[in-house]
Amino acid sequence: MKFRHGVQGVKLDQQKELSLKHKIKNLPMADELPLKPNFNLNGKKDYNYILNAAQKSQIVDEFDGIPLDKKLKKLRGLKPNMIVACCFDEDPWTTSAMAVLREYTAEVISGLEYAAKACGIKERKIAVATKEEAKFIKSINSEAELILAGDRYPARVLLKKKLYSQNIKAFYIGAQACLALDSAVKEGKVQQDTVVTVAGRGVERWSNVKVPLGTELKTVLKFCGVSDKTKMIITGSSLTGKAVLDLTEPVTPSTRCIIAIKKAKKDISYPCIGCEKCASACVRSIVPWKILKVMKNKKPDPLMLTNVQKCIGCQACSVVCPSGIDLAEVVKKAADLKKSGDFE
């Protein structure tokens, strides 16, 4: 993957146009998947009403896999001063959040308002990656209150850091969770589907597909035309996602993308050339090349493994390394070692 080096995080080559070119497609519900009936709630659309709707709708936030009603309840106690809908996709191949915001702008705004009301937060923002995207969304809905997450990876962490430096304690919610909350509050709808980006060199028709929850991954791949030459299927993210071993695995609310890879990554690395790009890319103040050096010792000194426990496994260091060293793995091993206390 190519990169452009910068101050913090990493600027990745984006592969978003192909899946954003068309409207979201609908994958029909398979016969064996039962259609969940709507529910009825009466009364004023206050805190309790919204929480009940989130719970009855069984909404799960796509970013962290946590049931939305639990998140909102917890948040009410924590009293953040801003709620942010994450409508950007930091993975370079994924566009499901962007597509949802583009096609359901009013609904996402409304769902975010309900979430803010449930937590007692006044300030709310829709986070998008770039100025161009902000302009596009404003042209659809001038009411949208936007904030820029930027297009450096990992954007979510960088946005958090930026807001934190401005003394803003923000809470984050997925675009699809906002959309589902809007349907739950207004229409009593249970969350039945999710929008998934299907992309990668092994896919003929890169698309965003609205998929009924529980659909097998292979059905979605077939819908988008997966090549016989596909070597690997990944869900989650092309950087941090997991390889799928069983294509009968179901789509869940957290399945934001399915990526089909034609060429498996070569497992070759070269010696460190001391360029320090890994340190610049890291958003958690870790200096991966130093950790690598320490870990090469027979008995690594734990005092030299600075900040390794702060690693979020974002892979930015590995992506920028011109020597192809899997620094994220080295840092993970160092963190495990430090935690275990298994050294002399």
Report the interface residues with ligand SF4, using CB under 6 A. Answer: 272-278, 281-282, 284, 286, 288-289, 292, 311-317, 320-323, 325, 327-328, 331
C-beta of 302: minimal distance to ligand SF4 in Å?
17
C-beta of 343: minimal distance to ligand SF4 in Å?
20
C-beta of 125: minimal distance to ligand SF4 in Å?
25
C-beta of 77: minimal distance to ligand SF4 in Å?
29
Angle of the 105-119 helix axis to the 47-56 helix axis, nearest 10: 120
Identity of the residue, 185 or 316, whose beta carbon is nearer to ligand SF4 in the bound complex:
316
C-beta of 199: minimal distance to ligand SF4 in Å?
23
Q: Count CB atoms within 10 A of the CB of residue 299.
A: 7
Identity of the residue, 252 or 323, whose beta carbon is nearer to ligand SF4 in the bound complex:
323
C-beta of 232: minimal distance to ligand SF4 in Å?
21
* C-alpha torsion sign, points 306, 340, 245, 224: negative
For residue 91, with 0-12 CB atoms within 10 Å meaning exposed, 13-18 middle and 19 or more buried, which class applies? buried
Residue type, 278: C
Identity of the residue, 213 or 328, whose beta carbon is nearer to ligand SF4 in the bound complex:
328
Identity of the residue, 86 or 158, whose beta carbon is nearer to ligand SF4 in the bound complex:
158
Strand partners, 242: 235
CA torsion 125-129-134-135 (nearest 10°) is: 170
C-beta of 89: minimal distance to ligand SF4 in Å?
18
Identity of the residue, 114 or 289, whose beta carbon is nearer to ligand SF4 in the bound complex:
289
C-beta of 10: minimal distance to ligand SF4 in Å?
8
Identity of the residue, 82 or 311, whose beta carbon is nearer to ligand SF4 in the bound complex:
311
Identity of the residue, 155 or 286, whose beta carbon is nearer to ligand SF4 in the bound complex:
286
DSSP assignment string, 310-329: G-----HHHHH-TT---HHH
SS3 for 248-298 is CCECCCCCCEEEEECCCCCCCCCCCCCCCHHHHHCCCCCCHHHHHHHHCCC
Identity of the residue, 51 or 292, whose beta carbon is nearer to ligand SF4 in the bound complex:
292
Strand partners, 126: 85, 146
The stretches of 35-187 forming alpha helices (DSSP H) are 47-56, 68-78, 96-103, 105-119, 131-140, 155-165, 175-187
| Closest to 171 measured CA to CA, from 110, 128, 115 | 115
Q: Which two three-digit tokens encode residue 19? A: 């899946």
